[in-house]
Amino acid sequence: MNPKYSSDERRKSSGSGSRQIRLAGSILGYRAHICAFFSTAEDAYRVLLPFIREGLECGEKAVHTIDPKRCEEHIQRLESAGIDVAAVQKNDQLELRDWTNTHLNGGQFDPHKTLALFEKVVKEAKAKGFQLIRFVTQMEWALEVGVDLNELLEYEARANEVWIRHEGPVNPVICTYDLTKFRGDVVVDIMQTHPLVIIGGVLQENPFFVPPEEFLEQLREKRAS
């Protein structure tokens, strides 16, 4: 556990009586913002499919944001794991999105609008009776022309503020990054904005995590220099 947060803050974020969630060989704790680094699609789905299937079997909602060119592949992967995609979409348990109606809505990335969009998704899901939402997002949208790396980092850092102030069970968010597409220095920066990391298919506490207020202050100083 990160010593920079008190036990009271940890209890506030985890919520009492929340069900344990398994991911990549471990149990998720109170911090549920995860960056997952993979070199192949096979490695990614080997980790993600059990996590996705478990949530659907428990009656939770799944929200996936996928590369628009890979939506059919994603559906096939889900079906290969025994998930009836048509059925869970029909009962609104599975929400499939792509970058054009999430992060790149309107053709541009706005971190504040994107966070507000996902908060609206959570609010609507709660209103429909879903107690927990499991998010999976393919992050290669950040490599599209015109996306500022600093805006990506601000977005990832601010996403942590949700679980820090949240009461009750925290909606787990997995941001997947293709290691064959992101530069090493970008990967290092991204790691600083996630309390948990999946490397080599294993979930780990991230020793490089920087709390959002501190990271955002560093980002402001970097922009001003």
Would residue 16 count as lying in a domain?
no
- The predicted structure's pLDDT at residue 107: 86
Would residue 141 count as lying in a domain?
yes
Average pLDDT of the chain? 86
Would residue 135 count as lying in a domain?
yes
Q: Indicate whether 188 pLDDT > 50.
A: yes
For residues 104, 98, 203, 2, the Cα torsion angle rounded to the nearest 10 degrees is: 40
Give the predicted TM-score (pTM) of the model.
Answer: 0.86
- Could you tell me the pLDDT band of residue 3, with boundaries at 50, 70 and 90? very low
Would residue 11 count as lying in a domain?
no
- The predicted structure's pLDDT at residue 48: 96
DSSP assignment, residue 180? Answer: T
Packing angle between helix 212-224 and helix 149-165, nearest 10 degrees?
160
- Could you tell me the pLDDT band of residue 28, with boundaries at 50, 70 and 90? confident
- The CATH number of whichever domain residue 194 belongs to comes to 3.40.50.300
Would residue 17 count as lying in a domain?
no
Exposed, middle or buried: residue 56 (CB in 10 Å: 0-12, 13-18, 19+)? buried
Domain count, the chain: 1
DSSP assignment, residue 59? Answer: T
Question: Closest Cα partner for 33 from 218, 148, 217, 166?
Answer: 166
What is the residue type of 14?
Answer: S
Q: Indicate whether 179 pLDDT > 50.
A: yes
* Strand ranges (E), the chain: 22-23, 26-27, 33-38, 61-66, 94-98, 133-138, 173-178, 196-199, 202-205
Residue 137: φ, ψ to 5° = -130, 125
Q: Indicate whether 129 pLDDT > 80.
A: yes
Per the structure, the complete domain to which residue 98 belongs is given by 29-224
Q: How far apart are CA 52 and CA 123, in angstroms?
A: 20
Would residue 172 count as lying in a domain?
yes
The pLDDT tens digits of the residues spanning 35-76 come to 999 999 999 999 999 999 999 999 999 999 999 999 999 999
* Strand ranges (E), 8-60: 22-23, 26-27, 33-38
Would residue 69 count as lying in a domain?
yes
Would residue 133 count as lying in a domain?
yes
